[in-house]
Structure 1
Amino acid sequence: MSGPVVVRRRLGVTLRRLREAAGLRLEQVAAELEVSPAKISRIETGHSAAKTWDVRNLLTVYGVEDPDRREQILGWVEESKAFGWWHPHSDVLPMNLDYYISLEAEAASVSLYAPLVPALLQTRSYARALLADLFVDVDHIGEGDLDRLVDIRMGRQAALRRAENPLGVSVVLDEVALLRMVGGPEVMREQLIALQDVMGSVEVRVRPLTAPVRRFALSSFAIFHPRLTTVDHAVVNIEAAGRDYYLEEAADVLEYQGAFRALWTESLGADESLAAVRSLIG
């Protein structure tokens, strides 16, 4: 299960670094290959899918002769052109979720601060009730589209069960997530039981209502830690008022990593967090 959007960006960043290491400007490379500088730029920024022929020529111009290195990079070309498993549902995907799912697919682990039970830990009933509430003011979302959105959310949870390198998850869960009634008492009870069961394999810390107000806790956020640390970098996603924002600058990522550690420290311990969930199941 790969994330083509992330792979396309990885390929572009790698090609840009190789060009810069070779001391070449976009215009020089474009002239050598008899293409426009804009085409090279679009490949480097990940805005255009690269063709194998073009990348093979770029590697030659940049003096990349090692066969293993060439094979690795050309392999990324093929991965970047593949459709993610969620592609058949792309017409109902909210803005930027394609990138989010790609990040999940390519990450080694993710650190989440969540004021609601996060998608990776939701039951189908909870997910459907929550999405129905979130899209209640969107006229074109019918029952069929809602079911497809739930299918996507359930499909994302396969990252936790990958045969190789399953996604590691650490969650600071605001206590309000345990108290907010999503879908009614039975839906919430089912969700709390599922959360209790997964807390043996997923790190979940409940942040109590008595914890101090922190500015980083006013919106949910996720920090994606890459598997391929030599070519990919950590990315922060912030969700606020139905909009997604992505931070990729090192200083921004470090700031949110520090914020997550602080929220984690202010949360209940593992045993206390489990007890807090169990106390609400009844």
Structure 2
Amino acid sequence: MPPASPGPILRRRRLGNELRRLREHAGLTGDQVIDRIGWASASKLSRLENGRSRPDPEDVDALLTIYGAADELRAELIGIAHEAGDMRGWMRKFPVMTEQQRAFAELEAGCAEISEYSPVLVPGLLQTPGYARHRILSAAKVAEEAGDPDPEDPETEVGARRSRQALLEHVTRYTAVLEETAFGRRAGPPEVLREQLVHLCELARLPNVELRLLLRDTQVGDWYVPPTAFSVYRFADPLDPETLAIESGFGDVMSTEVSTLNRYKVVFEWLCSSALSASDTISWLIEATGPLTGTAVESTVASGPATAPTQRRPGSGRLTTER
């Protein structure tokens, strides 16, 4: 089960932000600090402030002395430096984890709120083992044919994803906007989609989980089309920086840049406004899965859910036969 505390990468970012703030408050440039502390590498301070290197608590202590940090703040930041460097100890709290999923696991641990948009797939935190296995095996085939095979065992990858999913027991609020196209027949065999839809029905009833379905032909904003999947992570401590993850098929980008984050937050608000309400989404999922016994979904999958369940207009309780 994932730990309730933030992972080392988030700790590094928090520490870096604090060190930069203290340096600027002391009126010192990076070069001045390097000269005073006697470090040989001019980039060492930059890597610490940007959260790109594992901090040495002794180095952090030396910086705090130069900046004249108060005792209470010094003790807090030294503690954060120890947490930021304890990657191995933190990872032991997971039953299983792979290098590929580690970055997401670190972001998710300790989260107070997660907002996700996925245009063509069910997000990893919501996937059943069967659905996840098809995603992992199909991606591995691409890597194999490209001459760059994935060294991880597919079942280890599935286990790692399941380990991450325990987060939903701890996060205060999880909201996801799913595209209707994610449930088309290209995503997997009928029995896999049936299981996935039933699982989403169960998750949507959790008090801290909100799922919103965006129907295929629904307009977003002024004909805006989000180009890729993304997630926004918020943490209980306001000093831990909000983080954006932009997900693509073969690489992911993480950012704490405020201006970039704000744009994606606006997009997520537009998506939520255009999508079905949480209650109407549950109704859609129930109709797509039949009476939750798996008997009615095969015909739905065969033609695509857009043609089977009766749809509701966003924001209304009125049923419509529009597709």
Whether these two folds match at TM > 0.5 is yes
Structure 2 counterpart of 1:227: 236
Matching residue of 1:61: 66
Give how far 1:254 is off: 1.3
2:80 pairs with 76, 79, 85, which one?
A: 76
Give the whole-Å Cα distance in 2 for the aligned partners of 1:228 and 1:187. Answer: 39
Quote the Cα distance in structure 1 between the aligned partners of 2:259 and 2:131: 36
Q: Render the CA deviation track for 1:86-131: whole Å, top value 9, x for unaligned.
A: 89977x533xx53332221142111111121111111111111121
Match of 1:172 in 2: 177
Structure exhibiting the larger radius of gyration computed from Cα positions: 2
1:125 aligns with 2:127: no
Residue type of the alignment partner of 1:278: I
Cα distance in 1, alignment partners of residues 166 and 230 from structure 2: 21
| Contact 2:229–2:246 (Cα < 8 Å) also in 1 | yes
Q: 1:93 & 1:241 partners in 2: Cα distance? A: 16
Contact 1:6 1:99 in 2 (8 A): no
Is 1:251 aligned with 2:259? Answer: yes
1:136 corresponds to 2:138: no
Aligned equivalents of 2:186 and 2:59: distance in 1? 54
TM-score w.r.t. structure 1 length?
0.88
Secondary structure of 1:169's counterpart equals strand
**1:145: which partner in 2?**
153
Report the Cα distance in structure 1 between the residues aligned to 2:217 and 2:187, rounded to whole angstroms.
Answer: 22
CA deviation digits over 1:152-206, x for unaligned, max 9? 11111121123xxx25210111011223453411111111111001101210011
Q: CA deviation at 1:269?
A: 1.4
Distance 2:225 2:245 in 1: 12
1:51 pairs with one of 41, 56, 65? 56
- Residue of structure 1 equivalent to 2:227: 218
Question: TM (normalized to structure 2)?
Answer: 0.78
Maintained 8 Å contact 2:57/2:81: yes
Aligned to 1:108: 112
Deviation at 1:239, TM superposition (A): 1.9
What fraction of aligned residue pairs are identical, expressed as a percent?
Answer: 33
Residue in structure 2 matching 1:85, options 57, 82, 91? 91
Give the structure 2 partner of residue 273 of structure 1. Answer: 281
Instruction: Assess, with a 3 A threshold, how the Cα gap between structure 1 residues 189 and 102 changes in structure 2: closer, same or farther.
Output: same
Letter in 2 for 1:19: R
CA distance in 1, matches of 2:95, 2:67: 37
**Paired residues of 2:132 and 2:158 also in contact (CA < 8 A):** yes
Pairwise CA distance, 1:233: 2.4
Structure 2 unmatched ranges of 5 or more: 290-295, 297-323
Aligned to 2:268: 260
> In the superposition, relative to structure 1, how do residues 154 and 89 fare at CA in structure 2: closer, same or farther (>3 Å)?
closer
Q: Which runs of 4+ in 1 moved over 6 A?
A: 86-90
Task: Give the drift of 1:72.
Answer: 1.3
Deviations 1:4-41 (A, max 9, x none): 11211211121111111011122322232222333222
